[in-house]
Amino acid sequence: MAQTKSLLEEKIEMQMPLIGLYDAPDPAVFEPIVEPDGPGHLCVFKYFNHWSNGETLHLTVEKHGCDGCANALFDHQVKSRNEYLDFLVDGEGLKKSKTLMNQWIDRMNNYQPEYNHIFIGPLKTIAGKFLKTVTYFITPDQLSLLVYAANYHAAPMDPAPIIAPFGAGCMQLISVFDDLSIAQAAIGATDLAMRMHVPKNILAFTTTVPMHTRINQLDEQSFLGKPFLKSLKARRNIY
C-alpha cells in the first residue's frame, strides 16, 4: 500500500523519494539493495540514481564505501590522524592550518551504529523503528519551503532548527547532529567532492526523525496555504 503523503510533501512536489538513513540488523527488509565492492574511495552519493530507482545502499564497516564514510558512519578510523591531516589540509586545502583541522576533527561526532549495518535509501514503513534521519534532495525553491517548515514551530530559546555544517556529504546525513532526539535539520550536499554525483541544482535537507514528524504536521493554516507559496509557484510554473 502506498504511503499517504503529507501536505508538505504534496506542496513541495518532490521529484525523487525521501531518503532514509537506517541503523538496522536485517538487510532483507531493504531489498532491493546495492553494495560497494569493498573498502576504497567509492562515495555513497554515487548511488544517487539507485535511490531514485527505489534501491537501498547497504554499508558495513567492512564495505564502507570510502575512508571518510567509515569514520563518519561507523566511527572506524582507516587512516592515521596525520594521514587525514595531510590529505585534508595539504592535499585538498580545506582548512587554513593543520591546527584548525585537528580542532575540527576533535569536535567531530562520528556515528556509532547499534548494528553493523547502515542502509541509505527510500523510506520503508516496515523499518520505521530503525530510521535515524530523513533527507530531501531539493532545488533552491524547495529549500526555501523547508527552511520555513523547520522554523515554523521553533521558539528563540530552542536549539537551532537548522544547521549548515562544514563536512563530508555522508557526515551531513547523520553525524553532524549532536542529538538525534532533537527536532533539527541540516543543509547538506555542500561537499565539493560529492557534488559530481548529484544534479547541479540539487541540495540536501536532512532532518532528524522528530523534525521530520513535526514539519509533516503542517496544515493549510501555515504558509503552505498562503500567498507566498502560491505566488512563487505561479511565477515558476514548475519547480
Task: Quote the cell numbers at residue 163.
Answer: 544547521
Going by pLDDT thresholds of 50, 70 and 90, the confidence category of residue 1 is very low
3-state secondary structure 77-142: CCCCHHHHHHHHHHHCCCCCCHHHHHHHHHHCCCCCCCCCCEEEEECCHHHHHHEEEEEEEECHHH
Within-domain flag for 68: yes
Residues ≥6 apart with Cβ < 8 Å to 33: 27, 55, 56, 57, 58, 119, 121
Give tens-digit pLDDT for 38-85: 556 689 999 999 999 999 999 998 888 788 888 899 988 878 889 888
Give tens-digit pLDDT for 153-199: 999 999 999 999 999 999 999 999 999 999 999 999 999 999 999 99
Please tell me the predicted confidence (pLDDT) of residue 84: 84
Sign, Cα dihedral of 70, 73, 74, 79: positive
CA distances from residue 84 to 53, 92, 191, 218 in whole angstroms, order as listed: 34, 10, 16, 43
Within-domain flag for 89: no
Angle between helices 140-151 and 227-236 (to 10 degrees): 170
Segment 24-30 shows an average pLDDT of 95
Please tell me the predicted confidence (pLDDT) of residue 79: 80
Within-domain flag for 221: yes
Within-domain flag for 114: yes
Please tell me the predicted confidence (pLDDT) of residue 182: 97
Please tell me the predicted confidence (pLDDT) of residue 39: 57
Answer for the pair 159, 10: CB distance below 8 angstroms, yes or no.
Answer: no
Within-domain flag for 13: yes
Q: Averaging pLDDT over each range in 38-47, 98-107, 206-215, 227-236, which range is the top one?
A: 206-215
Within-domain flag for 207: yes
Within-domain flag for 67: yes
Q: Which residue has the cell 504511503?
A: 3
Please tell me the predicted confidence (pLDDT) of residue 38: 59
Neighbour count for residue 1 (Cβ, 10 Å): 4
Within-domain flag for 92: no
Give the separation between CA 225 and CA 98, rounded to whole angstroms: 49
pLDDT at 204 over 70: yes
Q: What pTM was computed for the model?
A: 0.93
User: What is the number of domains present in the chain?
Assistant: 1
Please tell me the predicted confidence (pLDDT) of residue 97: 94
Give tens-digit pLDDT for 108-160: 889 999 998 999 999 999 999 999 999 999 999 999 999 999 999 999 999 99
Domain that holds residue 146: 7-75+110-236
